[in-house]
Amino acid sequence: MNNQASGRTAPSGAEPSGRKNEWPRFLLLAFVGLPITMTLAIAAYGFVVWFLQILFFGPPS
Amino acid sequence: MKNLLRSLRDLFLKPSVRIGLGVLVTGGFIAGVLAWQGFNTAMEATNKEEFCLSCHTMHDNLLPELQKTVHWNNRTGVRARCPDCHVPHDFTDKVARKMQASREVLGQLLGTIDTREKFKEHRIVLAQREWKRFSANGSKECRACHDYKDMDFDKMRPASQVAMRKAAERNQSCVDCHKGVAHQLPEMKGARNPAFDTLVSSAAGQSVDAGKDYFLVVPQELYADEGMTKRIGAIEVATQVKVLETKGDAQRVELALWRKNKGYGRVWYSHFGLNITSAVLDKEVALDASFVKVLDTKEDPMTGLEWQQVTATAWMRKGSVLDSVEPVWSIARASYSSSCSVCHRQPEEAHFDANTWPGLFGGMVSFTSMDDDTARVVLKYLQTHSSDFSTSHGAGSPDSALQTARP
């Protein structure tokens, strides 16, 4: 907390990664990282539902 | 690992230094919209008919069949595409179905059904999966296009009206009755009713005494010799035989049946005057007086045909008889009541007589998914429980009728 607060009050502060890589990191996260995560999560959800169908529910009603 | 976790934590928890909050949120929003749009586009692309047909198995086998049906080309110009029928329409089931397709991808890579022959052989398995799915969801996919509540039954063909009204009343799943609307039905001949396997294994354990009567649990070939090399005919399931002797794998049995004294007399029936097929012999054998002994001759007053009571002995493979016919009938009964009650209540067995059943049954059996063996047993069950045999209908069994008719 303290660390972050001080980061805000002193934008010129000593965080090496913050300054230089912020834009690339933001773009990478928003347009590559999270979409991939979303797809994987949905796929995992699909597999879980499928396995539950095999094991417990039977085909969807 | 620790480093990764830490940089992840930093990524999410450390406020940004140079990018404003508004830019971050807007950027995130745009990324979200694009990602979701992209996801949906991809989903849709895998839900196109072209995608289904890009596997040659589907293109070569299923497409030409669909093209022959009303769902491909019709008066109103509405087309049903593969995914309309085969992919669930709501999100969760759809995603689950897409993941299930990983098995299909594996099958494609391994070439499980990459030829027409392999496909035809495996088809029954695939079809049964689809039937199960449709019956669980009440044929939801069909009903996205045509549902009971929107049907005008009066405008249907007369043949459809009764069945469809009843179906609507019961809110029944379409595919219960409409199998094979889009493709050829799988060959049922190769399919075996698993119920018979238990019969066969109990027959294998049956101890057989010479001179006693038994019933066949599966159809068998008949041979002239104990080496079972010279085939002379075939004997039907549930036929009563007297076992004379057992030698090695073979069993000599005596048949005591009836036939019409017309043509070659190849087809033998279990009772006088009733067309209940029990054995079919080869032509030369049926004509051979040294093989067939005629015990009695009677004229059927209904048809004016002369019937002969005949007997013969032949060899067949051992281990296919039981001392009671009841287990066979209980399989037939189960199959009859499950398959024939789909569209209407199954008729009383004794509502028709033994000679009427084959015609009625033959007209109906194609509506069901019975395999050939089962269909034969069910027909025989219906005939031997028909009004000719039923005591409650007062007709009396033909055996007793015979007894009284004899001088």
Instruction: List pLDDT tens digits, range B255-280.
Output: 999 999 888 889 999 999 999 999 99
Q: Which of B36, B46, B95, B104 to mutate to test the interface with A (most CBs of A within 10 A)?
A: B95
Closest CA to B237 of B279, B274, B193, B289: B279
Cα–Cα separations (whole angstroms), residue A20 to A11, A24, B52:
12, 9, 47
Assigned domain for A51 exists: yes
| Maximum mean pLDDT: which of B30-34, B165-169, B321-325, B332-336 | B30-34
Measure Cα distances from B327 to A29, A43, B204, B334 in Å: 68, 49, 14, 11
Looking at the domain assignment, is residue A9 inside a domain?
Answer: no
Domain count, chain A: 1
CA distances from B4 to A14, A20, A22, A29 (A): 21, 19, 17, 15
Kindly state whether residue A61 falls inside one of the protein's structural domains.
Answer: no
What pLDDT shows up at residue B191? 54
Give dist(CA A14, CA B147) in Å, integer: 68
Domains of chain B in sequence order = 49-186 (1.10.3820), 205-322 (no CATH), 326-393 (1.10.760)
Confidence at A38, pLDDT banded by 50, 70, 90: very high
Mean pLDDT of the region B184-189: 70
Is residue A38, in this structure, part of any structural domain at all?
yes
Contact criterion met (CB below 8 Å) for B131 and B179: yes
Which residues of B are annotated binding-site positions for heme?
Answer: 52, 55-56, 82, 85-86, 142, 145-146, 174, 177-178, 340, 343-344
The 3-state DSSP class for residue B340 equals coil
For A48, the domain range is 21-55
State how far the Cα of B33 lies from the Cα of B27, in Å rounded to an integer: 10
In degrees and rounded to multiples of 5, residue B367 shows phi and psi of -75, -15
- In this structure, is residue A43 part of a structural domain? yes
Within a domain: A1: no
* Min Cα separation B377/chain A (Å): 31
* SS3 state at B151: coil
Place of tokens 């015990």: B295
DSSP per-residue string spanning B341-398? TSSSPPPPGGGS-TTTHHHHHHHHGGGS---HHHHHHHHHHHHHTSTTT-TTTT---H
Tell whether A31 is covered by a domain. Answer: yes
**Contact residues, chain A, for B29 at CB < 8 Å:** none
pTM above 0.80, yes or no: no
Chain B positions touching chain A (beta carbons under 8 Å): 10-11, 13-19, 24, 27-28, 30-32, 34-35, 38-39, 88, 92-93, 95-100, 132-133, 136-138
Q: CA of A7, closest CA in chain B: separation in Å?
A: 8
Regarding an ipTM greater than 0.95, the answer is no
The answer to whether residue A48 is domain-embedded is yes
pLDDT tens for each residue of A5-37: 443 444 444 455 556 778 888 898 899 999 999
Shortest CA gap B169–chain A (Å): 19
